[in-house]
Structure 1
Amino acid sequence: MNIYDLDTPALLVDVDILERNLRKMAAITAETGTRVRPHSKVYKCIEIVRKQLELGAMGVTCSKLSEAEVLADHGIDNLLVANEVVGQPKIQRLIDLVRRVDVMVGVDHPLAVDALNAAATDASVRLPVLVDMDIGMKRNGIAPEDAAELVRKVVASRGLEFRGLMGYEGHLVSMPPGEEKTNAVNEALDRFSFVIDELKTDGIDVPIVSAGGTGDYQIAARHPAVTELQVGTYAVMDTLYGSFTPEFELATTILCTVTSRPCRERLILDVGRKAVNTALSTSTLKDRPTVEMKYTYAEHGAMTVDEDAPDLIPGVKVELVVPYACGTIHMYEQMHIVRDGEVVDIWPVVGRGKVQ
Structure 2
Amino acid sequence: MNIRDLATPSFLLDLDVFEANLRDMAAMCGRAGVELWPMVKTHKSTVIARWQKEAGAAGFLTGTLDEAEQLAAAGFADLTLAYPVAGRANIDRIIALARRARITVSLDGIAAARALAAALAGAGLEIDYLIIIDSGLHRFGVPPHQAAELAAALSGYKKLRLRGVATHPGQVYGAGDREGVAAAAAAEVAALAQAREVLLSHGFAVDTVAAGSTPTAAAAAASGVVTALRPGNYVFYDNTQVALGVVPPARCALAVLATVLSRPRPDTLIIDAGSKCLGLDKGAHGSSLLAGFGLVAGHPELTVAGLSEEVGRVAITGETGLDVGDKLAVIPNHACAAANLTGWLIGHRQGNTECAIPIDMRGNSRLPATF
**What is the TM-score when the length of structure 2 is the normalising length?**
0.91
Residue 145 of structure 1 is matched in structure 2 by: 145
8 Å Cα contact 1:64-1:354 kept in structure 2: no
Aligned mates of 2:275, 2:255 — CA distance in 1: 15
Aligned mates of 1:335, 1:342 — CA distance in 2: 14
Aligned mates of 1:354, 1:81 — CA distance in 2: 17
Residue 249 of structure 1 is matched in structure 2 by: 251
Aligned mates of 2:322, 2:186 — CA distance in 1: 49
Residue 259 of structure 1 is matched in structure 2 by: 261
Aligned 1:40-189 pairs, distance under 5 A: 40-173=40-173, 175=175, 176-178=177-179, 181-189=181-189
Give the deviation of 1:84 after TM superposition.
Answer: 1.0
Q: Which residue, out of 320, 323, 326, partners 2:330?
A: 320
CA gap of 1:114–1:183, structure 2 versus 1, over 3 A, is same
8 Å Cα contact 1:273-1:299 kept in structure 2: yes
Residue 348 of structure 1 is matched in structure 2 by: 358
Aligned mates of 2:188, 2:214 — CA distance in 1: 16
Aligned mates of 2:185, 2:295 — CA distance in 1: 30
8 Å Cα contact 2:129-2:160 kept in structure 1: yes
Tell me the amino acid that sits aligned with residue 317 of structure 2. D
Q: Which moved more, 1:213-222 or 1:142-151?
A: 142-151
Tell me the amino acid that sits aligned with residue 19 of structure 1. E
> Identity percentage over the alignment?
30
Tell me the amino acid that sits aligned with residue 261 of structure 1. R
CA RMSD, Structure 1 to Structure 2 (Å):
1.8
Does the residue aligned with 1:346 lie in a helix, a strand or coil?
strand
Give the deviation of 1:290 after TM superposition.
Answer: 1.5
Aligned mates of 1:278, 1:284 — CA distance in 2: 13
Deviation string 1:170-226 (CA, Å, 9 cap, x unpaired) is 113553334x64355223422222222222233211111111211111111122321
Aligned mates of 1:95, 1:119 — CA distance in 2: 7
Task: Please state if 1:274 is matched with 2:284.
Answer: no
8 Å Cα contact 2:64-2:363 kept in structure 1: no
Aligned mates of 2:261, 2:183 — CA distance in 1: 48
Residue 336 of structure 1 is matched in structure 2 by: 346
Tell me the amino acid that sits aligned with residue 50 of structure 1. R
Deviation string 1:321-343 (CA, Å, 9 cap, x unpaired) is 22210111000000000112111
Residue 210 of structure 2 is matched in structure 1 by: 210
CA gap of 1:129–1:269, structure 2 versus 1, over 3 A, is same
Aligned mates of 2:322, 2:189 — CA distance in 1: 51
Tell me the amino acid that sits aligned with residue 99 of structure 1. R
Q: Which residue, out of 270, 285, 288, partners 2:299?
A: 288
**What is the TM-score when the length of structure 1 is the normalising length?**
0.94
8 Å Cα contact 1:133-1:143 kept in structure 2: yes
Does the residue aligned with 2:19 lie in a helix, a strand or coil?
helix
Residue 285 of structure 2 is matched in structure 1 by: none
